[in-house]
């Protein structure tokens, strides 16, 4: 029987059984004193846990701590702050991250080793530990605290990013929830900024790792806002088994359902991040088919969605399709001009390399929408991939020329 | 004896002996009817000639024609238009480019095979051949026509880009001139947009090719405006030997002087392009020393100068140095946080990975200048390189969201 997968209305990271969260306004950033900026996620039952981390050579202190602690393959809580990345902060950074975990553990009454830490915000500044300490004391955990946590993780995000799905498969039920934050320094390179995933399914650690990698590859690794990857990027997943379904392991009947549901959550959150890119006014979806292979399809789709000129043209609803072709052309992917087809939405602009006459008005109308889809067929093979990004607006520049000052 | 190399005041592509140029307003772009948009460069004496071309898989028709014709290693003229790139125009594109060369040859009274063709502008539209034909007839060539040619090549450039140097070495005299255009779709990848170089030195073809490659590698290949490479990028060089100095060949005494002078011209023009990037208000110079090797130094410098977040921070004079570190960190180049030094201008911000206290006011003052220099020492080896770029302004987005419409 096919698995039934349904999005849970108002779902989030605490939708799965046994997960609690909460947040507070610790006053970490001077810019937004009344913003939620410190949160905690906690599972009342022990979790199998794993994560994926930035490929940036500079690794933020909390990330280093998480990588160490996840070697044990389990965790009970995550503490997260926005407003300061605790990256490029030397040995002090690791001391601070370790203290954040310890204080969180003491507050809940668990071992410090079972607490993971994440930070996001300005690079190179030390954490204001006095504020962090009193902040951690103030957090109250609740079963629907996921929404507060989502808000506490936001920096330049304009919308909280959270979702959950309920899965039914052969009489087994479980759910998967997730929360993420963008919205600058976003570029596909293993993991992308902060995302915490939770599930009440029981999952074997090896399968959890491979399922996460697969889901991240087609979601967070396929979005780009600005081509910059952050030293703080991480995707964490915690599975507490409280749904009392049979354990999900590789090759088991539930494995496909779990994988599919996890991918839906990740793609949903990845699209939320792309759509809410700094200064963005619309989501761009680029699908490449007919590439020589999967890797080529991925690279071509990502290159188009990353091109500043494509992004700016979409922003201005300018049907300058030559920029899409130029981006594929420089991507390094094999392409043959006389074989390439290009569509904006479902309107064909180029067929077998020949520019077609098209209604400029109709194309501009499509480009003016909140979601713009660009579809390419290289007609060379069976490689297929989709990437997501956003338009480039004047507002992006304004945000990023005044981030620190 | 050391070579004397001096910039020629008001120098340009027709400064070397025997070169003529001219331009006209052919009305190619509907947007700028009164703009010079078609030009011709001509040498009265036969030239040894070579070029470097885009690595984009999409190659504009004029570029394909140039690559074919330069196999003979000689040329007498170049015809160039702005307003239409004649790229992604199918078989018709090559017919049009060939006709441009033929008409130019007939006008001057030379063989069509000795004429090179270059185009720049919107991709995917056919050349308006009627206007091109009457335009070519109108061009009047003169010894100081280089300035007009420089103007005719401009698209979103705000300034003409031209220079020339006079070289004296052991009683031999010769000169090298150049003209270039930017200012979008600029990213290091072999050659960068249009640049024509001229010299009245006699140069052997093999040496000319290697000298050009070397000079382009440290100039045009080290600038980035927006990470996009164009299907039309080309750098051409023509040497007519009229200075009557002895031929320059590899290993000859004049080889070093020629190389050095050529590099000065290329770096000057490359910096002009970077400074005049679309919407740019300042030039950014990034120097990386202490990299494990040359390739790593080049990659690190180019990644920093390409980072949107660095570019936007410089635009807003925001001393957010963590973005520089994050960019190096994601570049793929080996770096060790605890060894890295960072300077803005001559102000140290990070020493051996430790953030230093610094006068924010002084750094902001430097960032507000027309030229901003960012200097990194990775302290890992002897690799050293400099890259140039520009800040990212709201104006860049405005220009590129309305390019075609």
Quick: pLDDT tens for A274-323.
888 778 889 999 999 999 999 999 999 988 998 888 998 999 998 888 88
User: Residues of A numbered 71-110 whose beta carbons fall under 8 angstroms of chain B's beta carbons: which are they?
Assistant: 85, 87-90
For residue B123, give the nearest of A231, A325, A399 by CB distance: A325
SS (H, E, C) chain A: CCCEEEECCCCCCCCCCCEEEEEECCCCCCCCCCCCCEEEEEEEEEEEEEEEECCCCCCCHHHHHHHHHHHHCEEEEEEEEEEECCCCCHHHHHHHHHHHHHHHHHHHCCCHHHEEEEEEEECCCCCCHHHHHHHHHHCCCECCCHHHHHHHHCCCCCCCEEEEEEEEECCEEEEEEEEECCCCCCCCCCCCCEEEEEECCCECHHHHHHHHHHHHHCCHHHEECCCCCCCCCEEEEEECCCCCCCCECCCCHHHHHHHHHHHHHHHHHHHHHHHCCCCCCCEEEEEEEEECCHHHHHHHHHHHHHCHHHHHHHHCCCCCCHHHHHHHHHCCCCCCHHHCEEEECCEEEEECCEECCCCHHHHHHHHCCCEEEEEEECCCCCEEEEEEEECCCHHHHHHHCCCCC
Residue A397 and residue B397: Cβ atoms within 8 Å?
Answer: yes
Which of B275, B291, B325 is at the close of a domain? Answer: B275
* pLDDT at residue B294 in the model: 92
Cβ(A82)–Cβ(A37) below 8 Å: yes
Distance to chain A for B84, nearest Cα, Å: 11
**B268/B147 same-domain check:** yes
- Residue in A316, A320, A404 nearest the CB of B319: A404
| CA dist list (Å): B15 to B20, B46, B118, B163 | 9, 17, 21, 9
Highest mean pLDDT among B54-58, B203-207, B226-230: B203-207
Residue A76 covered by a domain: yes
For A122, the closest of B230, B320, B338 (CB atoms) is B320
How many CA atoms lie within 13 Å of B227's alpha carbon, on the beta-carbon side? 23
Does residue A38 fall inside a structural domain?
Answer: yes
Enzyme catalytic residues of A:
192
Query: Does residue A394 share a domain with residue A344?
Result: yes
For chain A, percent of residues with pLDDT exceeding 70: 94
Q: Identify all chain B residues contacting A316, using CB atoms and an 8 Å cutoff.
A: 400-403, 405
Across the interface, whether the CB atoms of B57 and A329 are under 8 A apart is answered: yes
R_g (Cα) of chain A, nearest Å? 22
Check CB contact under 8 Å for B309 and A355.
no
Q: Are residues B303 and B180 in the same domain?
A: no
Among B50, B192, B199, B306, the active-site one is B192
Question: Is residue A228 domain-shared with residue A345, that is, in the same domain?
Answer: no
Q: In terms of Cα–Cα distance, which of A179, A180, A205, A176 is closest to A193? A: A180
Nearest to A308 among B227, B329, B330 (CB): B227
DSSP string, B92-137: HHHHHHHHHHHHHHHHHTS-GGGEEEEEEEESSPPP-HHHHHHHHH
> Which long-range contacts does A157-161 make (Cβ < 8 Å, 24+ apart)?
A157/A181, A157/A182, A157/A183, A157/A276, A158/A183, A158/A276, A159/A272, A159/A276, A161/A269, A161/A272, A161/A273, A161/A276
Please write the tens of the pLDDT for every residue from A313-370.
999 998 888 889 888 988 889 999 889 999 999 999 999 988 898 899 999 999 999 9
Q: What's the confidence (pLDDT) of residue B372?
A: 95
Do A396 and B400 lie within an 8 Å CB cutoff? no
The residue of chain B nearest to residue A320, with distances taken between CA atoms, is B404
8 Å CB contact of A394 and B392 = no
Per-residue pLDDT band for A184 (boundaries 50, 70, 90) equals low
- H or E element in which residue B61 lies: helix B61-69
Contact B326 A87 (CB under 8 A): yes
Do A241 and A318 belong together in one domain?
no
A268 with A289, same domain?
no
CA A78/CA A57 separation, integer angstroms: 23
For residues B195 and A118, the model is more confident at: A118
How many domains does chain A divide into?
2
Contacts 24+ apart (CB under 8 A), B252-256: B253/B169, B253/B170, B254/B3, B254/B169, B254/B170, B254/B172, B254/B201, B255/B207, B255/B211, B256/B3
Tell me the chain A residues in contact with residue B399 when contact means C-beta distances shorter than 8 Å: 312
Q: Assess whether pLDDT exceeds 50 at residue A125.
A: yes
- Of the three residues A230, A252, A275, the one that is the final residue of a domain is A275
A112 reaches B (C-beta below 8 A): no
B342 plus B239 within the same structural domain: no
3-state secondary structure of B155: coil
Contact A326 B122 (CB under 8 A): no
Which residues of chain B from 339 to 358 reach within 8 Å of chain A, CB to CB? 350, 353-355
In chain A, the largest separation of any two C-alpha atoms, in whole Å, equals 68
Query: Which chain B residue's Cα is nearest to A188?
Result: B330
| Residue recorded with tokens 């045009």 | B220
The per-residue pLDDT for B230 is 67
Whether A382 shows a pLDDT value over 70: the answer reads: yes
The minimal CB distance from B318 to the residues A328, A396, A402 is found for: A402
Residue B405 included in any domain: no
The pLDDT tens digits of the residues spanning B289-311 come to: 999 999 999 999 988 998 888 99
- In the DSSP assignment, the letter for residue B276 is T
B173 part of a folded domain: yes
Q: What is the mean pLDDT of chain A?
A: 88
Q: Is the pLDDT of residue A405 over 60?
A: no
Whether ipTM > 0.90 holds is: no
CA neighbor of B98 nearest in space, from B72, B119, B116, B121 = B116
A96-117 pLDDT, tens digit per residue, is: 999 999 999 999 999 999 999 9
Q: Which residues of B touch A29 (CB under 8 A)?
A: none
- How do strand A234-239 and strand A223-224 relate by DSSP bridges? unpaired
CATH number at residue A322: 3.10.20.340
Which chain B residues are within 8 Å of A122, Cβ to Cβ? 320, 322
Task: Please answer yes or no on whether B58 and A329 come within 8 Å at the CB atom.
Answer: yes
Domain range enclosing A34: 4-275
What does the pLDDT read at residue A191? 30
Crossing angle of helices A308-315/A294-306, nearest 10°? 60
With cut-offs at 50, 70 and 90, classify the pLDDT of residue B27: very high
For tokens 């789709």, name the residue: A301
Instruction: Determine whether the interchain pair B318/A401 forms a contact, defined as Cβ–Cβ distance below 8 Å.
Output: yes
* Whether A88 and B307 lie within 8 Å, measured CB to CB: no
Instruction: Give yes or no for A43 touching B (CB within 8 A).
Output: no
Percent of chain A beyond pLDDT 90? 53
Domain shared by B114 and B73, yes or no: yes
Query: Is A29 an interface residue toward B (CB < 8 Å)?
Result: no
Q: Does some domain include residue A393?
A: yes
Is position B330 within any domain?
yes
Whether residue A306 sits in one domain with residue A249: no
**What are the backbone dihedrals phi and psi of residue B344, each rounded to the nearest 5 degrees, phi first?**
-105, 120
How many C-beta atoms surround the C-beta of residue B382 within 10 A? 11
pLDDT digits (tens, 9 = 90+) for B213-261: 898 888 888 776 666 666 677 888 999 889 977 888 998 878 988 999 9
State whether the Cα torsion A102-A103-A106-A108 is positive or negative. Answer: negative
Q: Which of A56, A230, A354 sits opposite B90 (nearest CB)?
A: A354
Q: What number is the average pLDDT over the span A157-164?
A: 87
Instruction: Give me the residues of A, 143-162, that contact B with CB < 8 A.
Output: none
Please give the pLDDT value at position B225: 62
How far is it, in rounded angstroms, from Cα A203 to Cα A100?
28
> Across the interface, which of B123, B316, B392 has its CB nearest the CB of A323?
B123
**Please, are residues A164 and A265 in contact by the beta-carbon 8 Å criterion?**
yes
Q: Does A56 touch chain B (CB under 8 A)?
A: yes
Sign of CA pseudo-dihedral A130, A131, A132, A136: positive
Q: Which residue of A has its CA nearest to B229?
A: A330
The neighbour count for residue A13, using CB atoms within 10 Å, is: 29
Residues B64, B133 share a domain: yes
Nearest CA-CA distance, residue A56 and chain B, Å: 4
B311 and B222 assigned to the same domain: no
Residue with tokens 């979409």: A314
β-strands A223-224, A354-355 pairing: unpaired
User: What residues of A are in contact with residue B309 (Cβ under 8 Å)?
Assistant: 184-185, 226, 228, 400
Q: Answer whether A292 touches B (CB < 8 Å).
A: no
Reported as a single tens digit per residue, the pLDDT across B140-196 is: 999 999 999 999 998 778 888 899 999 988 788 899 999 988 765 554 332 337 888
Contact, A403 vs B318, CB < 8 A?
A: yes
CB A18 within 8 A of CB A240: yes
Average predicted confidence (pLDDT) for chain B: 88
Of B5, B200, B60, the closest CA to residue A330 belongs to B60
Residue of B nearest to A395 (CA): B394
- Asked if residue A405 belongs to a domain, the reply is no
Contact call for A313 and B226, based on CB within 8 A: no
A394 at the B interface (CB within 8 A)? yes
Chain centroid to Cα B331, Å, comes to 23
Across the interface, do A404 and B334 touch by the CB < 8 Å criterion? no
Task: Tell me what the mean pLDDT of segment A198-208 comes to.
Answer: 92
Contact check, Cβ <8 Å, B57/A328 = yes
Of A231, A312, A329, the CB nearest to B326: A231
Boundary (domain end) residue, out of B245, B275, B305: B275
Closest CA to B356 of A90, A146, A72, A159: A90
pLDDT band at B129 (very low <50, low <70, confident <90, very high): very high
What pLDDT is stored for residue A403 in this prediction?
59
Write the CATH number for A136: 3.60.70.12
**Which has the higher per-residue pLDDT, B208 or A233?**
B208
Torsion angle in degrees (nearest 10) through CA of A197, A198, A203, A204: 50
The verdict on A298 and A268 lying in the same domain is no
First to last CA, chain B: 57
> What mean pLDDT do residues A144-159 have?
89
**Distance between B170 CA and the closest CA of chain A, angstroms:** 45
Domain membership flag for residue A240? yes
């Amino acid at each position: 029987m096919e698995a039934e997968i349904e999005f849970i209305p108002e779902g989030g990271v605490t939708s799965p059984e046994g997960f609690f969260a909460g947040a507070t306004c610790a006053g970490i950033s001077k810019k937004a004193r009344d913003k939620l900026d410190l949160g905690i996620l906690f599972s009342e039952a022990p979790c199998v846990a794993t994560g994926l981390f930035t490929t940036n050579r500079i690794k933020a202190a909390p990330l280093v701590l998480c990588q160490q602690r996840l070697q044990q393959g389990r965790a009970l809580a995550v503490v997260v702050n926005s407003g300061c990345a605790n990256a490029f902060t030397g040995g002090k950074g690791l001391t601070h991250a370790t203290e954040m975990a310890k204080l969180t553990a003491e507050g809940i009454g668990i071992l410090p080793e079972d607490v993971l830490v994440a930070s996001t915000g300005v690079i190179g500044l030390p954490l204001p530990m006095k504020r962090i300490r009193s902040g951690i004391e103030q957090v109250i955990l609740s079963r629907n605290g996921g929404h507060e946590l989502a808000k506490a993780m936001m920096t330049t995000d304009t919308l909280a990013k959270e979702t959950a799905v309920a899965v039914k498969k052969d009489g087994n039920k479980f759910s998967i929830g997730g929360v993420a934050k963008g919205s600058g320094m976003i570029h596909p390179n293993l993991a992308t900024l902060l995302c915490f995933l939770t599930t009440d399914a029981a999952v074997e650690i090896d399968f959890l790792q491979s399922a996460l990698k697969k889901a991240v590859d087609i979601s967070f690794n396929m979005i780009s806002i600005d081509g910059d990857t952050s030293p703080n990027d991480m995707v964490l997943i915690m599975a507490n088994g409280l749904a009392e379904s049979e354990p999900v392991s590789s090759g088991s009947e539930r494995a496909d359902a779990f994988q599919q549901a996890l991918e839906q959550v990740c793609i949903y959150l990845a699209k939320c991040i792309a759509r809410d890119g700094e200064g963005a006014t619309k989501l761009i979806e680029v699908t490449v088919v007919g590439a020589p292979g999967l890797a080529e399809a991925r690279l071509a789709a990502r290159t188009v969605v990353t091109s500043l000129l494509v992004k700016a043209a979409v922003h201005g609803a300018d049907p300058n399709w030559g920029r899409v072709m130029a981006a594929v052309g420089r991507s390094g992917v094999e392409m043959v001009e006389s074989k390439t087809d290009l569509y904006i939405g479902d309107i064909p602009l180029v067929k077998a390399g020949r520019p077609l006459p098209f209604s400029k008005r109709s194309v501009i109308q499509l480009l003016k929408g909140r979601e713009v889809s660009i579809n390419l067929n290289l007609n060379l093979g069976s490689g297929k991939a989709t990437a997501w990004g956003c338009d480039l607006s004047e507002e992006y520049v304004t945000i990023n020329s005044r981030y620190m000052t």
